[in-house]
């Protein structure tokens, strides 16, 4: 029998199709015991709360409280495609295929096969009421304010970092009950955004040009995930004005803040950066994972983005790129409306108005749910630091491989007692982190061991040549031509030169600051509701997602053309 990951879920035979699609953006890395037990489990509960409220979930859908919607298989997080399709099956006028397009967009999933119990009249009527209410939305829904209040309340409860271990642990154990309703708010706004954008997507398809949906949705304005880039760009402006700060950046971002202490000329930059961390320090790579780096605990991640932005000579302000946003949107509307019947036109017009508020709400509720994890991460890292001083493991990710309930308290009491266990799990973690997880798992027998995953790793595809056109999904409209910069991790962000085209495997909010100096964005995976698409639209940057193996087929330095409406990437030359 092969070696399994330390926690494995159980495939529900009624809902067998699980996919890495979409969840790869928010859980791109191997999931730890800490993240699974204290974040994933309450997230699953919050998801069910919302689906029951909206009407998607029926009473006999699940036979237990064991996770089904968010699964942990072969070390990685998965979303249950079989169950998420019920959103389309049970929603009037929608379909399973519409959900695939909105959330997943790639991977050629097994086709939906109708079964008894999938359709439900009561569910459809309840969903219809939700949709009608959503289409009449003309302001941010109350869930946004609720999420802000809940996040602030949990943050205010954080004990002093000088408090005893027991008090800090108790605060961590309190996190799930606060996180569950905030995650539910995020899932509610996400689900409604998918339904409303689905109406626009269907309309574009009816007009014979599915790519028009990117122009119909357009930029919503005030989307928090895009605000990070704009704030960093303003800070980069303060760097440009100071010779002393520029010189400090020239040396490198490591130790930069320490070097600038006491430098009078650095005051405006340091104050601006401090305010940025206070406002946005909770974000970072893999930011749903409770042991992950953030801009608060690893500020070099944000400083690297500033370093890229301060070297550009052209205007990076999104308003410059979005100056024709309204005109493009109106042109798309005029192309689409003649193809719709009277009833569809009414829904279409309502969706055009409502999508702005739901897009903003989706990102705001997500941001606040992640914000709640900031004080948790501060407390957790303090406990890791204390244990390390007593001979324990200094890496927060490896300590997070201990069960937070059954093992972590004993470790804190005697840090050296579990070093061999941590080392064993850390070695396994590194093996899982080095492999590509299966994109689909459709039965318990398919949950892979690490030996199977290592055996499945294939040779890289051939690098594309001049004239080759790679196809993906339309993400954000516009056409851009430039040199490709393949970046596999945000730590490589300083390599991105202004005006280059960012080619990435997958993007979470930590990648957002790299979008602004880029001429366009190409991503291996993604769909209409993907993070890369939402942010690219807000920043006015062409984007193509679901370009399979883009980071392997495209080489840094190639000149490529990105068409965000057509969903294509053309290799212009191979220089």
474 and 568 part of one domain: yes
Residues 207 and 102 in one domain: no
Same domain, 290 and 334: no
Give the domain-ending residue among 304, 321, 338: 321
**pLDDT tens-digit readout, 61-117:** 998 889 999 999 999 999 999 999 999 899 887 888 878 877 776 557 888 999 998
Asked whether residue 57 falls in the same domain as residue 200, the answer is no
The range of the structural domain enclosing residue 554 comes to 469-573
Q: What is the pLDDT of residues 284-309, one digit of tens each?
A: 888 899 999 999 999 998 998 888 88
Asked whether residue 405 is domain-assigned, the answer is no
Q: Is there a domain that residue 155 lies in?
A: yes
Q: How many domains does the chain divide into?
A: 4
Q: Indicate whether 81 and 10 sit together in one domain.
A: yes
Between 248 and 492, the higher pLDDT residue: 248
Angstrom distance (rounded) from CA 394 to CA 315: 42
Clarify whether residues 235 and 289 are in a common domain: yes
Sheet holding 520-523, edge to edge: 469-471, 568-573, 559-563, 479-486, 501-504, 520-523, 543-545, 473-476
Same domain, yes or no, for 362 and 309? no
Mean pLDDT over 375-402 rounds to 98
The arithmetic mean of pLDDT across residues 167-185, rounded, is 98
Angle between helices 224-240 and 243-251 (to 10 degrees): 110
Q: Are residues 484 and 533 in the same domain?
A: yes
- Within-domain flag for 234: yes
pLDDT (0 to 100) of residue 404: 98
Give the CATH number, domain containing residue 473: 3.50.30.10
Is residue 10 within 8 Å of 66, Cβ to Cβ? yes
| 130-166 per-position pLDDT tens digit | 999 999 999 999 999 999 999 999 999 999 999 999 9
Residues 354 and 215 in one domain: yes
Structural domain contains residue 195: yes
In a domain? residue 211? yes
- 159 in a structural domain: yes
**113 in the same domain as 3:** yes
Question: What string of DSSP letters covers 157-178?
Answer: TPPPTTS-HHHHHHHHHTHHHH
Query: Tokens 């990076």 — which residue?
Result: 316
Q: For residues 312 and 363, state if they share a domain.
A: no
- Domain presence at residue 429: no
Shared domain check, 560 and 475: yes
- The secondary structure element, H or E, covering residue 301 is helix 300-309
* Residue 388 included in any domain: no
The last residue of a domain, from among 321, 346, 361: 321
**Per-residue pLDDT for 52 more than 70?**
yes
Give kind and range of the element (H or E) at residue 146.
Answer: helix 142-156
Residues 32-43 have pLDDT tens digits of 999 999 999 999
User: 530-546, pLDDT tens digit by residue?
Assistant: 777 777 888 888 999 88
CA distance 104 to 30: 20
Q: Considering only 218-222, 338-342, 533-537, 562-566, which range has the smallest mean pLDDT? A: 218-222
């Amino acid at each position: 029998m092969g070696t399994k990951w330390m926690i494995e879920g159980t495939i529900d035979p009624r809902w067998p199709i699980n996919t890495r699609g979409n969840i790869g953006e928010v859980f791109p890395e191997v999931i730890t015991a800490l993240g699974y037990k204290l974040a994933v489990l309450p997230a699953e509960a919050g998801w069910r709360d919302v689906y029951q409220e909206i009407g998607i979930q029926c009473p006999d859908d699940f036979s237990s409280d064991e996770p089904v919607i968010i699964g942990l298989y072969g070390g990685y997080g998965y979303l249950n495609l079989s169950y998420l399709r019920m959103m389309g099956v049970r929603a009037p006028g929608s379909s399973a295929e519409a959900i695939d397009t909105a959330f997943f967009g790639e991977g050629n999933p097994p086709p939906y096969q109708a079964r008894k119990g999938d359709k439900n009249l009561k569910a459809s009527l309840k969903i219809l009421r939700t949709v009608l209410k959503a289409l009449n939305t003309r302001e941010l829904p109350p869930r946004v304010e609720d999420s802000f209040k809940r996040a602030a309340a949990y943050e205010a409860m954080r004990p002093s970092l000088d408090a005893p271990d027991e008090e800090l642990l108790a605060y961590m154990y309190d996190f799930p009950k606060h996180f569950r309703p905030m995650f539910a708010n995020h899932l509610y706004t996400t689900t409604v955004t998918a339904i409303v954008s689905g109406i626009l997507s269907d309309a574009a398809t009816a007009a014979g040009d599915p790519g028009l949906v990117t122009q119909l949705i357009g930029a919503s304005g005030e989307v928090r995930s895009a605000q990070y880039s704009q704030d960093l760009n303003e800070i980069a402006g303060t760097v440009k004005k100071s010779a002393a700060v520029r010189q400090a950046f020239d040396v490198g971002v490591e130790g930069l803040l320490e070097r600038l202490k006491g430098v009078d000329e650095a005051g405006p930059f340091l104050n601006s950066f401090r305010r940025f961390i206070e406002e946005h320090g909770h974000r970072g790579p893999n930011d749903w994972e409770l042991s992950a780096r953030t801009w608060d605990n690893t500020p070099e991640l944000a400083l690297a983005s500033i370093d890229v932005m301060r070297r550009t000579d052209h205007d990076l302000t999104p308003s410059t790129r979005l100056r024709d946003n309204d005109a493009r949107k109106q042109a798309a509307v005029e192309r689409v409306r003649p193809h719709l019947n009277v009833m569809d036109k009414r829904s279409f017009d309502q969706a055009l108005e409502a999508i702005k508020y739901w897009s903003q709400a989706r990102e705001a509720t997500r941001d606040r749910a992640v914000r709640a994890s900031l004080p948790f991460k501060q407390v957790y890292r303090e406990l890791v630091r204390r244990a390390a001083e007593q001979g324990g493991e200094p890496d927060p990710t490896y300590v997070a491989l201990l069960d937070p309930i059954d093992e972590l308290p004993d470790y804190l009491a005697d840090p050296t007692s579990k070093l061999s266990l941590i080392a064993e799990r850390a070695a396994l973690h590194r093996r899982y982190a080095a492999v590509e997880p299966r994109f689909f798992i459709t039965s318990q027998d398919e949950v892979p061991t690490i030996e199977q995953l290592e055996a499945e790793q294939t040779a890289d595809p051939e690098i594309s040549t001049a004239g080759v056109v790679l196809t993906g999904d339309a993400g954000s409209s516009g056409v851009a031509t430039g040199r490709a910069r393949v970046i596999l991790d945000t730590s490589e962000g300083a390599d991105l030169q202004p005006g280059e085209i960012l080619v990435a495997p997958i993007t979470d909010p930590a990648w957002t600051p790299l979008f602004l100096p880029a001429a366009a964005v190409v991503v291996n995976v993604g769909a209409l509701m993907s993070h890369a698409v939402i942010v690219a639209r807000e920043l006015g940057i062409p984007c193509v997602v679901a370009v399979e193996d883009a980071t392997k087929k495209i080489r840094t330095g190639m000149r490529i053309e990105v068409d965000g409406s057509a969903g294509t990437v053309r290799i212009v030359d191979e220089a």
